[in-house]
Amino acid sequence: MNVKHYSNLFFLLLSADPPVLYLQDWLLRWKMTGFRLLLQLLRGRRAYLLVSPSWSHENSQRVRRAAQLIEKHRKWYGDFQFIYLANTVSELKLFQENGVRAIFCNQNAFLDPAIYFPLPHSKKRFRAIYDAAFIPYKRHYLACQIKGLALIAYLKKDTLKRDINSVKESLPHAIWLKDGSATGNVWLSDHEINHFLNEAQVGLCLSAVEGGMYASTQYLLTGLPVVTTQCRGGREVFFDSDFVRYVADDPDDVAEAVDEFCAAPPDPMQIRNRTLVRFAEHRARLVDLLNSIYREKGRNVKWADEWPAQLPNKLHGGNFPIRNYFAALTGKKGCFPWLDSFHGKVR
């Protein structure tokens, strides 16, 4: 079994004691997966699970369900410590009110800025670009009045044919950078996405509610201004009024805001640099959390003073066989190609 099927799982691996896992919350569902086997291996040990919400938790009912799921895991696996990484301040407050340990640490800060960056000599072929799956909540139809529209979209296992047809019918003029309706399509690589983003003038965010929306911050790292609808989920955390326009849920308003940015584009490096400043705040909170875990274990060591450059994009470790994760839990070094290069920072 290869861990690419569970690529939202990643070991931060402070050391063999205590093991720390970063994951998105859907992995906590009670299904027999490779992740479930990892938890069984950890049973009876103190382990820390850093959980990132994959959907907005800005309502009490969803947070209560998360708290109940935590208790269920604790009864089954023992002394597990769950810490949610809230994507918004509202989520943080609700988690704390429901007895769930949490910090304000938006998932988008785990994107790798070395992958997404401005290409100063890139030709702007598209007025706007929308990186979004074939899912109704992405509301592609709001882009129907935009000229020079490019789309990045993919076919997933749960994609419905009617959703594909709906997007194609509402956006017949759009340029498909990868025709997501074609069976067997491979996803664009991160570097390909960066290339296409640099060929656009504006990034689009059109959902009303979802998770943190990685694409929203990929736009910013590549220096694109953003046109967005009002939303819940956390993408607004890295937005700045100088290069983001909030619009009504109306195609004409969306197109008008795109036209405004195309007529007077902001400085790409200013967009990127302001985003990186906010990245640093969230990454520092995670570093502080990891160091606090060491202190809880009575160990006078530190994980890192700075964000280790070797960590993978989004903290998704999908390139490593699952047997290496098992080996990591036994404390063997050399389990990950990047581990030895920054393990020395722990002191």
Residue 215 confidence (pLDDT) above 50 = yes
Check residue 295 and give its pLDDT.
81
Distances 66 to 212, 309, 330 between C-alpha atoms, Å = 17, 32, 29
What is the rounded CA–CA span in Å between residue 86 and residue 295?
22
Q: What is the mean pLDDT of the chain?
A: 84
Beta-carbon count within 10 A of 342 CB: 17
DSSP string for 140-159: GGGGTT-SSEEEE----TT-
Q: What is the model's pLDDT at position 182?
A: 57
Looking only at the bridges linking them, the beta strands covering 102-104 and 128-131 are unpaired
pLDDT, residue 95, reads: 98
pLDDT at 282: 96
pLDDT digits (tens, 9 = 90+) for 157-198: 777 889 888 998 999 999 988 765 555 556 788 999 999 999
Cα 152 versus chain centre, distance? 17
Q: What is the 3-state secondary structure (H, E, C) of 268-313?
A: HHHHHHHHHHHHHHHHHHHHHHHHHHHHHCCCCCCCCCCCCCCCCH
Contacts of 299 (CB under 8 A, 6+ apart): none
pLDDT at 328: 45
At 85-117, the pLDDT tens digits run 999 999 999 999 999 999 999 999 999 999 999
User: pLDDT class for 148, splitting at 50, 70, 90?
Assistant: very high
- 231-285 pLDDT, tens per residue? 999 999 999 999 999 999 999 999 999 999 999 999 999 999 999 999 999 999 9
CA 56 to CA 227: how far, in whole Å?
20
Residues 6+ apart with CB under 8 A from 90: 58
Q: How confident is the model at residue 118 (pLDDT cuts 50, 70, 90)?
A: very high
Q: For the chain, which domains are there?
A: 3-104+317-343 (no CATH), 128-275 (3.40.50.2000)
How many of the other CB atoms lie within 10 Å of CB of 158? 9
User: Would you say the C-alpha torsion 285, 322, 327, 308 has a positive or negative sign?
Assistant: negative
Q: Are 212 and 188 in contact (CB under 8 A)?
A: no
| Average of per-residue pLDDT across 12-38 | 73
Q: Which residues contact 339 (CB under 8 A, 6 or more apart)?
A: 13, 333
- The pLDDT, as a whole number, for residue 317 is 61
Which is nearest to 224 in space by CA: 253, 191, 261? 261
| C-alpha dist (Å) from residue 88 to 101, 234, 239 | 14, 5, 13
Q: List the structure tokens of 244.
A: 């983001």
Label residue 347 by pLDDT band (50, 70, 90): very low
pLDDT of residue 8 exceeding 60, the answer is no
Percent of the chain surpassing pLDDT 90 = 57
pLDDT for 153: 82
The pLDDT value given to residue 185: 56
Residue 318's pLDDT is: 53
Better-scored residue on pLDDT, 26 or 157: 26
Neighbours of 253 (CB within 10 A): 17
Which one is predicted more confidently, 28 or 299? 28
Can you give the C-alpha Rg of the chain in angstroms?
Answer: 21
> Is it the case that residue 345 has pLDDT exceeding 50?
no
User: In the predicted model, what is the mean pLDDT of residues 24-29?
Assistant: 87
Residues 6+ apart with CB under 8 A from 23: 8, 9, 10, 35, 49, 50, 51, 52
Where helices occur in the chain by DSSP H, the ranges are 34-42, 60-77, 89-97, 161-170, 190-197, 214-221, 251-263, 268-296, 322-329, 339-343
Q: What is the pLDDT of residue 4?
A: 38
What is the pLDDT, as a whole number, of residue 184?
Answer: 55
pLDDT tens-place string over residues 276-323: 999 999 999 998 998 888 787 777 767 677 777 777 888 876 544 444
pLDDT on residue 32: 61
